[in-house]
Amino acid sequence: MGHDSQNATRLYRPALVATRLHRLKTPDPHAGVWHRPGFLAYLQSTAFSGMAFSMQQLLVSWLLIGVLLLPADNVGLLQALMGLPGIFLMLWGGASADRRDPRGLLVGVYAITPLCPVFLIAMDQSMGIAIWSVVLWGLGMSVAMSFSTPAQQAILSRVSGNAIQQGVSASTAAAFLVQITGIVLAGQMEHIGLTTVLGVQALCLGLSALMIRRIDAWSPGVGAPHGSQTRNILEGFRATYGNRTIFNVLVINFISSIFNAGAFMTVLPFIVKRIYDGDAAVLATMMAVFFAGATMANVLMYRLMPFTRPGRLYLMMQLSRIAILFVLWIEPSWPVFLAAIVAWGINMGFTTTLARTIVQETAEEAFRARILSVFTLGMMGSAPIGAIVLGFIIETFGTLPALIPAMGVSLALCILGIWKTNIWSYRSPVALPG
């Protein structure tokens, strides 16, 4: 009997150890977001990649406007040229992230992308900055962002569990916070040199690859897509259209971003240069306070989450944006201008995070990366369209009049969102009852 007990104990111990290891590796879906395995590594990777891509946003604008001195309509066309090819590849990236381990996809993208800033460094050192070299660098970064974004967002759902609202808010706040650092650094390129700024951008992308490697890999689930990528992409479109909540949020976000993200990308740099006679450092200050406002919004939301009806707050933020744009339109003093930019950043922080939250918590897991790629396609695809339209408006009617369309669009979207969609009545499936 004693011998049998010893044998049973020997057999039981490995099974007990394996069970404990499984419990350590299998995340508790009810654990707080900060205790979820891989969440901190995910935040670190998001922070480094966000810093690199935010530096690109300022650098593209100022290299075209402040260094190459191009008119607004040309800037809009070039921004669209750099953005559109990568945007269409967003769908391929979403299908790839659903089909394979998105963590491995991110590691590969972030490991290769540093070649883009290294290329622009080589061009700057050998023959100086030219339109074609800036466009090639921008194209490469756009493609990298398109492949990485759906995979990054798909991983967030896994490392956040049921705390998805807090996970979205915390990761967005962290991204905005480091974007401020990246923007301020990029704004100093006239003092520390473009080579130094691009070198930091390359380093951040490499560090992001190292951080994402710390997250455990996993195999695609039973519902993972098979067959051709075209079929998988079409399935993502059908899943997006079939979920009316996601589809309605996507449409509102797309239309809003044409004139709001477009205004931030194209109109504000020209306001800084033509209205306030600023340089790259002034543009960096403006962008930094914008993202500071967005960070404050996400910190506040994190403390208030989970929201039972996030759709209502999302629609009301569309309406509140009108007052902010009106203040910018009347050409206020510089301190008032910065205060309005902070308010715009707070507004954008709320709308972006709330939209992402609604999509993240309602998307089916088997289609999540593809749905997120369609959602992000709408957000990113609207900006180049807005750049072309608003660049034409700037050169035809003036810089400040380019803010007027966004006011009318914001009012219309709020009204239509309340009366013609289910966003106002949407109830979060992970929020507390009440």
Predicted confidence (pLDDT) at residue 370 exceeds the cutoff of 60 = yes
Residue-wise pLDDT tens digits, 156-209: 777 776 667 777 777 777 777 787 888 888 888 878 888 999 999 999 999 998
Coil vs helix vs strand at 348: helix
Q: Write out the two tokens for 317.
A: 């933020």
Q: Write out the two tokens for 388.
A: 């072309």
pLDDT attached to residue 17: 37
Q: Where are the domains of the chain?
A: 33-216+231-420
Residue-wise pLDDT tens digits, 274-302: 888 888 788 888 888 888 898 888 888 87
Q: Write out the two tokens for 326.
A: 């009106």
User: What percent of the chain lies above the pLDDT cut of 90?
Assistant: 20
Nearest to 411 by CA among 319, 327, 347: 319
pLDDT bracket for residue 11 (50, 70, 90)? very low
- ∠ CA 257-140-118, nearest 5°, is 130
pTM confidence score? 0.66
Mean pLDDT of 19-33: 44
Coil vs helix vs strand at 217: coil
pLDDT attached to residue 16: 38
Residue-wise pLDDT tens digits, 141-158: 888 887 787 777 777 777
Superfamily of domain 33-216+231-420 in CATH is MFS general substrate transporter like domains (1.20.1250.20)
pLDDT attached to residue 9: 43
The region of weakest confidence among 44-58, 310-324, 408-422 is 44-58
| Alpha helix positions (H), 32-188 | 39-62, 72-99, 102-112, 115-126, 131-160, 164-186
